[in-house]
Chains A and B, each alone.
Chain A
Amino acid sequence: MSEVISARALRELIGGWLKAGIRVAGPRRVATDQVAYAWLDRPEDCLLGGYIHPHNSIKEFFFPRHESLYEYRIEGKKIALKNPEPLADERIVIGARPCDAAAMPILDHVFNWDFKDPFYNRRREQTTVVTLACREHDHECFCTSVGLGPDAERGSDVMLYELDGDMYEVRCVTDKGGNLMAGRTETSQLTGSVPPGPAKKFDLAYLRETIGSKFESPVWTEATLRCMACGACAYTCPTCHCFDIVDEGNARGGIRAKNWDACQFPMFTLHASGHNPRNTQPQRQRQRVMHKFSIYPDKFGDVLCTGCGNCTRHCSVHLGVQTVLEAAEKSWRNATV
């Protein structure tokens, strides 16, 4: 026994949410050749299948590229600060991939260990994530190498499985998901399933064990010298969370904003004195990979990567953590010492 919904009813449901003033984001064709998670204006904007992975990630609905932290007004020598706009709207992300949904509980750690980030947390509370299990993968996908898979439920409130005949099986994972879909589904005999997903690309246990002692390994330089420091890997990554804080305004006032940043940029670690601890691109690549596979898991218990493949898929020199880790495993296993 299962719960199902037809594609048509699902679209009507999306239309109903939009009409009720709920902000709905989903995969949307933004260019002939490009699908991105974006806010939907109409239910027909939403692609419910036919894409592997959108070119961005759902993190931007929780941790936007640009966000006002507060407003300031300058009146002579006095300053007045104003709270940011209320974050009260209910939100739904539909058509998320499991590797995107899983990123959110992983990011919860850094946004809450000690100081709690209210902006991020508020959006986490407000947002329901409806995930579409993957029937296909491409060469860059490697969720299975980091303990996830084409229908991993982590971070999802609802899982959808494509069925034949324009139907979806609906599995509610959380109460939030249950409430969202209550009364919207029909009982059926059909159950969805997905193929096993990509073959493993590297041995995570081996790399986790080894990587901590490989700071000086030549593989970092060998494998990453071709990186051009564009930052696309970090910006398309569902788990990269670095940001900058900047003032945007004029002589009378403005906002202080949190903007995405990336450890791949040379300026990222430049000290005021001119000293730069990560002066070369391989050092910066090593930081990205080690942060995800050594520092973050040591500290928070989760690898900071869901295997979505975006960092390789969108890299113009086909790098990304997958490429680097494959090279690293090969090199370290072959090393005589």
Chain B
Amino acid sequence: MCACEARDNTDSLADGTISRRENIYQPSLMEVLQVRRQSADVKSVRLRFSDEAEGKAFSFKVGQFGIFSLFGYGESVFNICSSSNWKDYIEFCFRKTGRVTNALWNIEEGDTLGFRGPYGNYYPMDAWRGKNLIFIGGGIAMPPIRCAIWYALEQRQDYGDITIVYGARTVGDLVYADELDEWATRERVRVVRCVDPGGETPDWKGEIGFVPTVTEKAGIAASNAVALVIGPPIMIKYTLPVLAKMGLADQDIYTSLENRMKCGVGKCGRCNSGPVYVCKEGPVFTLEQIRLLPEDF
């Protein structure tokens, strides 16, 4: 599960100062290039490394997360929701819920944020080559799926049919709505959108219903497929039996756990769930792996 080798970051300065390179807690500075409002309480942010060389040296894999910070308010953990093929910037998405995210809500172009990462494991995009991909997301869980969707679309020849099922409480809560429209125009891509009953608008053309039921009715071919399912625990719980019924095996169903994290580097103990440190051995797990974990996430 874990590809952990010890990293040598020892490089202290002569006077005993802990150097930038050595300080695993010190972030890179990033400039805000763009802030977009995705829904009533969700925004997406595009960032570029303030230090050009640092930006050039940076790479990550889709599915990994970062620790983003607003100085004076603190750090917050988000998936890096841009594709790893995009070289000039990275993106993350947040919902206004707590102290840090409420303050983040007011950031604008030109502001400076902190970033540490990338941390954690990633989606096995290589192993998924040649497979049909089923992406299922609920609510704010679109961003951690979006990075994989773009990645697959950019390496289109490597992947089979792509099905995206995305649901939110109301039409206004669907994030990346414009990108959903764009994905729907691509070849061999099917986008199924749904909102909870009552969450529709008069001109709503998508489905009305909850993600598990909509998925079940969508008639998705499950042969040679892998599924990535991310969303609230309740959505995941009811979607899993549907996927099983469709014929997907536990090792072909992936999710990304949203445990609370602080350090991201396997120290602070916060993300520990059963035998795993989610920040190190996760956040990406197959259902087969999840079944071995105690009900503690």
Contacts and interface: CB of A to CB of B under 8 A. Distances in A.
A171 B5 CA distance: 36
Interface residues of B, number: 57
Interface stretch (A28-36, A84-92, A188-196, A315-323): A84-92
Tell me which of B5, B29, B112, B273 has the highest count of chain A C-beta atoms within 10 A of its own C-beta: B112
Contact of A122 (B16, B72, B268): B16
A200 interface: no
B18 A122 contact: yes
Tell me which of B71, B110, B258, B270 has the highest count of chain A C-beta atoms within 10 A of its own C-beta: B71
A87 B69 CA distance: 25
Tell me which of A72, A79, A89, A249 has the highest count of chain B C-beta atoms within 10 A of its own C-beta: A79
B23 A113 contact: no
A291 B13 CA distance: 35
B204 interface: no
Contact of A118 (B5, B12, B27, B270): B12
B267 A88 contact: no
Contacts of A110: 266-267, 269
Nearest to A243: B268
B71 A115 contact: no
A272 interface: yes
A245 interface: yes
Interface residues of A, number: 60
A77 B71 CA distance: 11
Interface string B227-255: 00000110000000000000000000000
Interface in A46-70: 69-70
Contact of A247 (B24, B74, B101, B260): B74
B95 interface: yes
A115 B73 contact: no
A272 B267 contact: no
A83 B266 contact: no
A272 B262 contact: no
Contacts of A117: 24, 267
A116 B10 contact: yes
A273 B41 CA distance: 13
B268 A244 contact: yes
A135 to B, nearest CB: 34
Interface stretch (A172-180, A222-230, A250-258): A250-258
A249 B72 contact: yes
B17 interface: yes
A77 B268 contact: no
Q: Taking chain B's interface residues, is the majority helix, strand, or loop, or is none over half, making it mixed?
A: loop
Contacts, number: 166
Interface string B57-71: 000000000000101
A85 B161 CA distance: 55
Contact of B25 (A70, A86, A272, A291): A70
A105 interface: no
B16 A88 contact: yes
A24 interface: no
A302 interface: no
A209 B217 CA distance: 46
A143 B18 CA distance: 35
Contacts of B72: 72, 74, 247, 249-251, 254
A106 to B, nearest CB: 14
A111 B16 contact: no
B6 interface: yes
Contacts of A114: 4-7, 265-266, 280
A86 B17 contact: yes
Given A117-B24, A254-B72, A79 B296 contact: no
A85 B16 CA distance: 9
Nearest to A67: B25
Contacts of A9: none
Interface stretch (A12-20, A93-101, A262-270): A262-270
A294 B71 CA distance: 37
Contact of A87 (B9, B16, B296): B16
A86 B19 CA distance: 9
B25 A256 contact: yes
Interface string B37-77: 00000000000000000000000000000000101111100
Given A70-B23, A83-B23, A244-B270, 14 more contacts: A77-B110, A84-B17, A111-B267, A118-B9, A118-B18, A243-B262, A243-B267, A245-B268, A247-B69, A258-B25, A277-B296, A277-B297, A287-B272, A295-B274
25 contacts: A84-B17, A86-B17, A88-B16, A89-B16, A114-B4, A114-B280, A116-B10, A118-B18, A121-B10, A215-B274, A215-B294, A241-B269, A242-B269, A243-B267, A247-B73, A250-B72, A256-B25, A261-B262, A263-B269, A269-B260, A269-B270, A275-B233, A287-B272, A294-B275, A298-B275
Interface of B: 4-10, 12-13, 15-20, 22-27, 29, 69, 71-75, 95, 97-98, 101, 110-112, 114, 232-233, 258-260, 262-263, 265-270, 272-275, 280, 294, 296-297
